[in-house]
Structure 1
Amino acid sequence: MPPKNNPIAKRFEQAFDADIRSKFFKGLDFAGPQGDPGWFGPGSAVWHVHSHLPALVLGLVSAAYIEGLDPSISWMAYDHSRLVERADGIPTGNVDPTGGAVRLGHSISFFIGTAYGSTPTAERLARTVRAMHHTIKGTRPDGLAYDADDPEWLRWNYATVVWGLATAHERYHRRPLQDIDRYYREFVRVGEALGGTDLPATKAETAECLESYLPRLAVTPIKAFATGPNLRHSKAKPWEPGSEFMDWAARDMLPRWAQKLALYQPPNPVVLRLRRASLWAALNGLHDAAGPLPEFRQAQTRAGGKKASPFISTAPTTPDPVLTREEIEATA
C-alpha cells in the first residue's frame, strides 16, 4: 500500500474517487460473496495486467484509436456516442470533453469490474454492454449499414481492445508478463461474454486478425479531426485522452501498418527513446505511489486464494431483453 502521507497517492486517490469510483462503480461488488474468485481470480494474468491502472488507461486509449480506423465505428461514434459534441442533438464534428470522460469512466469501470468484481458483477457489466450494443444500428453516409451486434464487428472490436491492453502492458508495465499469451487466452472470456465468437486467443492470432481487416479500414474525416496536428490546441491536459501527447503515445503503440495508415512518423531515435522512457517513468511512478486499487485488495480478500475455473464459458445462453438507451443508462 502507498504511504498515507504520499501527496501523489493522495491526490490520485481523491481524483479517482471523485471522477471515476463515485460515478461509475455504483452497484459493483468487489467484497463478496466470500470464496468467489470472479471470472479470473488470484494468480491470473488478467489480475496482474489490470492491476496497473495507468497502463490500463493508456491501453484503452490506444485501443480506441485503432478501433476508430474502421469507418463503421467512426460513424457509430458520430451518431451514437457521447464522445461527439452535439448542438440541439446534431453532431458538430468536435469532441465533447465531458462525453469523453464519461466513456473513459465506463470503460475503466467495465475492465476493473470484470477483472476483480464478483461473478454476478462481471455478468451484470457484460449484460449492460451487450444491451447498449443492441441499440447501436444505423447507416453510414455512403449507404452501408452498421450494426454493433455484427459478429465481424464484435471480433474487430475485441481484437483492438485485447491488443491495446496487452501492448501497453508489455511496453510500460514495470514487471510485464513473460508469457503474454496467457493474458490473451484468459481475456477471451470477456469477449465471449459480449457476444463475440471465433476470437483470437494469442498475440500472433490477434495481430493477424487486426491486419486482416486492413482492406476495410480508412482514416475518415471524423478520425482525422481528432488526431495528430489537429490536437495541437486541445484543451486536454497532457496525460488525458484527447491531448496531443496521449495521441502520440497511442499512435506510437500501433502496429507498423496502422502507423502508416494514420500517417505516423516516429521522431528521431534519441527523441523516441526519451519520450518512451519518460512515459514509462511517469506511468510506473504514479502506479507505485498510488498502489493497488481498493477493489483489487477487496477481491483478494473475497477470493481467499481460490482460482477461477478455466473451463467455464461466459457466452450468453439466452436472448437479452430489448431495452432503450434510457432504460440501460438508468440501470447502469
Structure 2
Amino acid sequence: MSESNRTSNPVKRAIRQQVVGMFNDREQGEAPVVRSRNALFAPTSVAWRVHGDVASMMAGGIASLLLQMLHPGVLAGVWDHSNFRADMHGRLRRTARFIATTTYADRSAAEAMIRRVRSVHDGVKGHLPDGTAYQANDPALLAWVHVTETHSFLDAWIRYGEPWMSRADQDRYFAEMALIGGALGAEPLPRTRAEANRLITGMRPALRADARTAEVARLILHPVAANRLAGLPGRLAGQAGVDLLPRWARSLHGLSPSPLRTPLVRAGTLGVAQALRWAFR
C-alpha cells in the first residue's frame, strides 16, 4: 500500500482526529505538540517511549489523579482553586499537554511551560478544613504529585505496552523524569523505582479520604455526558486507572473492582491501545 493510501485511510484519520481533539483545546488555539530534536529528552530516552502511548497514558493519568487526591493538601488545592466540577476533562487535558510538551517539544517551549506552571502554583495556597496551611509550591506536595504521576504512567506502560521492560529501563525513566520534577521544585525526587516505592510508602500515613475526595473521584471516573471522555474509551480508561491503583489506595477510595470484570477491563484497554497505535502508526 502506498504512503498516500495509508495516510488517507478514513478510519485511521477519524481516530486520530478524535484523539487530537481530546488533548488540544481548539477554542484556545492549541495546536498538537510537535516532536523536536532539541527536546529536553532525546528520542532514545525511556520517557519518549513511555509517554507516546495514548491509551496507557490515559489510564496512568487517571490512576495518578486518584492517588494525588488522597493527600489533603493536593485535594484542597484542586477543591479551592479550580473549576474541576465543570471541567475535569480540562484538568486531564492540561496534564497530558504538560507531559507532551516537556517530553517532546522544543526545549524553549518545555521550559516556558514549566515556568507557567510554577507561576500558577504561586497563587494556589490556603488552609485545610482543620486550619493547616498549604501551598501548591510546597516541595513535599510537588514530590507527591511527581511520584504518583511517574509511578502510574510507568506501571500503565508496562501493563499495556511493554510488560518485559527491564528494571534498568524503569530506573532510567525515574532518573529522566527527575529533571522535570526538579525544575518544578519537587523534593525529594525518586531516581529509581525503589526510591519511588519508598516515597509512596512514606507518604501513606498522611493520606486519607473524605466526602470531598469521593466527589472528585466520582467526577474523574464518571465524567458528565458532554465530556469527550464520557464515551466507552473514557469509561474504560477510568476502570483501567482504578485497576492500576495499589490495593490500599483502592480501599481508601472505597473502590473494589470485580475479579470477573478486571480481565475484561485489561483486555478492552489493550484492544483500545492497539487500535490507537495502529491509527497513529
Determine if the alignment matches structure 1 residue 167 to structure 2 residue 161. Answer: no
Structure 1 or 2, whichever has the larger Rg, is 1
**Which residue matches 2:258?**
267
C-alpha distance in 1 between matches for 2:35 and 2:278: 23
For residues 239-290 of structure 1, give each alpha carbon's deviation from its aligned partner in whole angstroms, at most 9, with x where no partner exists.
22xx4x443322211112212222232322x532232122112122222222
**Which residue matches 1:91?**
none
**Which residue matches 1:134?**
122
- Aligned-CA RMSD value: 2.7
The change in CA–CA distance for 1:31 and 1:77 in structure 2 (over 3 A counts) is: closer
**Which residue matches 1:222?**
212
C-alpha distance in 2 between matches for 1:31 and 1:134: 29
**Which residue matches 1:203?**
193
C-alpha distance in 2 between matches for 1:115 and 1:81: 25
Q: Give 1:10 shift.
A: 1.0
**Which residue matches 1:108?**
96
Q: Give 1:229 shift.
A: 11
Q: What amino acid sits opposite 1:255 in the alignment?
A: P
Percent identical pairs in the alignment equals 28
Which shifted more, 229-238 or 63-72?
229-238
Task: Give unpaired runs (5+ residues) of structure 1.
Answer: 84-94, 292-332
Q: Give 1:233 shift.
A: 9.0
Ranges of 4+ aligned residues in structure 1 off by more than 4 Å: 24-29, 228-234
C-alpha distance in 2 between matches for 1:76 and 1:139: 9
**Which residue matches 1:4?**
7
**Which residue matches 1:121?**
109
**Which residue matches 2:249?**
258
Q: What amino acid sits opposite 1:264 in the alignment?
A: L
C-alpha distance in 2 between matches for 1:133 and 1:216: 21
Task: Give unpaired runs (5+ residues) of structure 2.
Answer: none
Count of equivalent residues: 271
For residues 136-176 of structure 1, give each alpha carbon's deviation from its aligned partner in whole angstroms, at most 9, with x where no partner exists.
00112221111011111111111111111111111111576
SS at match of 1:213: helix
Q: TM-score, normalised by structure 2?
A: 0.86
SS at match of 2:126: strand
Q: What amino acid sits opposite 1:8 in the alignment?
A: V
For residues 107-157 of structure 1, give each alpha carbon's deviation from its aligned partner in whole angstroms, at most 9, with x where no partner exists.
121111111111111101110111111110011222111101111111111
Considering fraction of residues, name the structure with more helix: 2
Asked whether the 8 Å contact 1:45–1:177 carries over to 2, the reply is no
SS at match of 1:41: coil
**Which residue matches 1:86?**
none
Q: Give 1:66 shift.
A: 0.5
Asked whether the 8 Å contact 1:28–1:113 carries over to 2, the reply is no
